[in-house]
Structure 1
Amino acid sequence: MTGQRVGYRRVSTVEQKTDRQLADVHVDKVFTDKASGKSTDGRPELANAIGYVREGDTLIVHSMDRLARNIVDLHQIVDALTKGGTLVIDGESVTCKGGVAVQFVKEARTFTGDDDSEAQLMLGILGAVAQFERSIIRERQREGIAIAKAAGKYKGGQPKLTDEQAVELRRRKDAGERVADLAREFGVSRQTVYSYLSA
């Protein structure tokens, strides 16, 4: 019996759509995060996906940059899934026993843990290309913001919570509620919760 095909999708903001990711790929279950990939924090569905998959399953991701923040992170996640290991995501340890294949649709590559040295080299090269592409996009975004500011057209980020919500958030955190639970309920990232708590 073959295992499940489990999809993982991630976009950087709540407003972005995940429709194009895995649009034409059959999956049995999908986990979706709407958070920045700069760190593994703020990606609870990645943790859930890693905790969910079992030996014989395949985790399918649109592209390498949707799974990991950099080369080291990419190798750690792929190794934990294929060979077994523990990752720390959102401050919590997630263990995978291994035996899970990792398929990247855009790069047309699947890694199983039995990969030869050439496959490992390709993982590193393709991951480096994805990281480079992401840094170019960020650089262009910064340049665009600088131009818009100079023209007086940039308004910057808008507050994510009202003043009343911010007060309620702090009250509930002081009462002992977990940051992850508050982030989920208020519809913001964990980083946003931490920003409001430290303000």
Structure 2
Amino acid sequence: MSDTHRSPGQRVAYLRVSSTGQNLARQLEAVGECDQTFTEKQPGNSAIGRPQLQALVRHVRRGDHVVVASMDRLARSVIDLNDIVQQITGDPAEHTEQRPRKGASIEFLKERLTFEPGHSDPMAAFQLNMMGAFAQFERELIRQRQAEGIAAAKKRGAYKGRPRSLKKEQVRAVRSAVLVGTPKSQIAREHGISRSTLYRYLAQPDLPH
């Protein structure tokens, strides 16, 4: 059935295995029967991104309900988790290609936690705010580690000065790739920058449109 003409209100599952020793049986049992299932069979050290997550974000729309067996199946960090939830539940009126906002809901079965569009559930809204706070804390740690790394490199005489700069469009593309789970090492390599430079761009305030 064409996605353009499908009915809203689908139950959509996201499954992911992060090592070759894992299998999907428990996740499949947990999510139950779904209209669409996006399965990421990705080894833990894989250099590729998460195309199935990107496909899910493109697929879902207002009224859909995304189910995930547990939070660690969806995201690799608090930053990832917060950003992906915002993509799925955000107001479609604010949707852009770089910052998807789909107006769907998402449920984490193990944690028994559901995030709805507009965050009408006070407890879920509180949890999302906490996730945002932890994400900001994580960004601050990244900035601190970067500063310490530069200081140590300068002391060793290994600091090479100002890194290559990216244009605004490139920075938005970098952030979009991070939001959908593309490994940071791959993003840095594709844009010809170091990982520390990548972290610097991710830690900056949002760019004006």
TM-score interval, normalised by the smaller of the two chains: 0.5 to 0.7
Partner of 1:75: 82
Partner residue of 1:44 out of 34, 39, 51 = 51
Give the 3-state SS of the residue equivalent to 1:20 in structure 2: helix
Contact 2:89/2:102, CA 8 A, preserved across alignment: yes
Question: CA separation in 2, counterparts of 1:123 and 1:40?
Answer: 29
Alpha-carbon distance in structure 1 between the residues aligned to 2:60 and 2:71: 18
Please state how far the C-alpha of 1:43 moved relative to its aligned partner: 1.0
Q: Gapped runs of 5+ residues in structure 1? A: 88-92, 129-188
Unaligned runs of 5+ in 2: 1-6, 135-182, 190-209
Corresponding residue for residue 119 of structure 1: 124
- Return the offset for 1:111: 0.4
Q: How does 1:14-163 map to 2 (within 5 A)?
A: 14-24=20-30, 25-35=32-42, 42-84=49-91, 96-115=100-119, 116=121, 118-123=123-128
Query: Hey, what's the Cα distance between the residues in 1 that align with 2:122 and 2:48?
Result: 30
User: Relative contact order (alpha carbons < 8 A, sep ≥ 6): 1 or 2 greater?
Assistant: 2
Q: 1:4 pairs with 7, 10, 16, which one?
A: 10
How far is the alpha carbon of 1:54 from its aligned partner?
1.3
1:14, distance to aligned residue in structure 2 (A)? 3.6
- Give the Cα–Cα distance (whole angstroms) in 2 for the partners of residues 120 and 39 of structure 1: 33
Indicate the percent of aligned positions where both proteins have the same amino acid.
39
Q: Residue 29 of structure 2 aligns to which amino acid in structure 1?
A: A
Amino acid at match of 1:51: R
CA distance in 2, matches of 1:36, 1:86: 31
Distance of aligned partners of 1:37 and 1:119 in 2 relative to their CA distance in 1, 3 Å threshold = farther
Is the Cα contact below 8 Å between 1:86 and 1:95 reproduced in 2? Answer: yes
RMSD of aligned residue pairs (Cα, Å) = 3.7
1:113-163 C-alpha deviation (Å, 9 max, x unpaired): 3225532332466897xxxxxxxxxxxxxxxxxxxxxxxxxxxxxxxxxxx
* Residue-pair matches, total: 129
**Normalised TM-score (structure 1):** 0.52
More helix by share: 2
Q: Amino acid of the residue matched to residue 66 of structure 1?
A: R
TM-score normalised per structure 2: 0.50
Higher strand share: 1
